[in-house]
Structures are given as structure tokens and as C-alpha cells.
């Protein structure tokens, strides 16, 4: 199954664009955890998120942090949840970190928009956020595709 997904993703990559987003589509200031951040401050917060997950400075994603808020859906009251989720997705890492990030998104959206919306968001990120998809919103998008764990020697 993994081989099939990788082959499918590789064949779609030229059409979809397996690149890391080069700019955020939301505009600063960004509201996260009740505080307002500039673009540089949010990038620093994203780097701290990676470091708190056990990475060293040398293991940070090579691409700069970007956010599009709630990918493919209206941000509404969930923008803060989605920006936090984007930070985790930018960092990437092991599958356990992705599960934790997706569960935290579901919890946050449930508080702000209800359980039905939370289930929809959760299903969307579990299906569409796999590191094997060549999408710019995939798990580990701060690393070159498909290296969502930062294992490629640079």
C-alpha cells in the first residue's frame, strides 16, 4: 500500500507541486495562544515547537515556516487552531507526533466550532496530510518531499 501511495504521489507531483510553500497566505499579525505575533515571531515559535519535540537546531526544517490557516476551508473561528497545527506539520517527525498534532487540532476545533466540525477537520487532515502526498500542506512540509522526518542528510 505504501509503495502504491508513493508511486501515485510521485506521478501527481509535477501537476500538484510537491514544493514547500514559500510564503504564508495569511497576513500578520497572527493570533496564537491568545497573543499576537509578527511573521518573524511566529517563525521563531514554530522553531521552538520543533525543538520542544526533541530536535536539535541542526535538525530544524530547511524551509522557512509558512501557514495558510485552515487549508482548503474557511478559517472562521478556527484560524488559531490551524496555525498551531501548521507549526506541527512544518516540523514533521515521527508518526506519533502527527497523531498528536491531529488530535490537538480536533480538540481545539471542537471547542470553537463543535464536534461535527472537529470530526470533519480530523478526517481531512488524517486523509490529506500524509507525508506521502506531494501536497504543500503534507506532514513535514518544512522538509523536501517525501522527507517528513528530516532524515535526509543535508
Predicted structure pTM score: 0.81
Question: Which of 16, 135, 123 lies closest to 68 in space, CA to CA?
Answer: 135
Question: In this predicted structure, what is the pLDDT of residue 153?
Answer: 43
d(CA 56, CA 2): 29
> Is the Cβ–Cβ distance between 37 and 29 less than 8 Å?
yes
Question: In this predicted structure, what is the pLDDT of residue 15?
Answer: 41
Please give the chain's pLDDT, 154 residues, in tens. 555 544 454 544 444 445 566 667 778 898 898 899 999 999 999 999 999 988 899 889 999 999 998 988 887 889 999 999 999 999 998 899 999 999 999 999 999 999 999 999 999 999 999 998 988 899 999 999 877 666 654 4
d(CA 43, CA 7): 33
d(CA 136, CA 51): 22
> Is the Cβ–Cβ distance between 138 and 14 less than 8 Å?
no
Question: In this predicted structure, what is the pLDDT of residue 100?
Answer: 97
Amino acid at each position: 500500500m505504501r509503495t502504491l501511495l508513493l508511486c501515485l504521489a510521485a506521478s501527481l507531483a509535477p501537476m500538484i507541486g510537491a514544493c514547500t510553500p514559500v510564503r504564508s497566505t495569511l497576513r500578520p499579525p497572527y493570533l496564537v495562544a491568545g497573543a499576537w505575533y509578527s511573521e518573524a515571531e511566529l517563525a521563531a515559535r514554530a522553531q521552538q515547537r520543533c525543538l520542544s519535540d526533541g530536535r536539535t537546531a541542526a535538525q530544524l526544517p530547511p524551509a522557512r515556516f509558512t501557514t495558510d490557516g485552515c487549508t482548503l476551508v474557511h478559517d472562521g473561528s478556527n484560524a488559531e487552531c490551524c496555525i498551531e497545527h501548521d507549526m506541527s506539520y512544518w516540523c514533521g517527525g515521527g508518526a506519533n507526533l502527527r497523531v498528536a498534532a491531529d488530535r490537538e487540532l480536533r480538540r481545539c476545533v471542537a471547542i470553537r466550532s463543535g464536534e461535527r466540525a472537529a470530526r470533519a477537520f480530523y478526517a481531512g487532515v488524517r486523509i490529506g496530510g500524509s507525508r506521502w502526498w506531494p501536497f504543500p500542506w503534507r506532514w513535514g512540509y518544512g522538509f523536501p518531499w517525501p522527507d517528513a522526518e528530516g532524515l535526509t542528510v543535508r
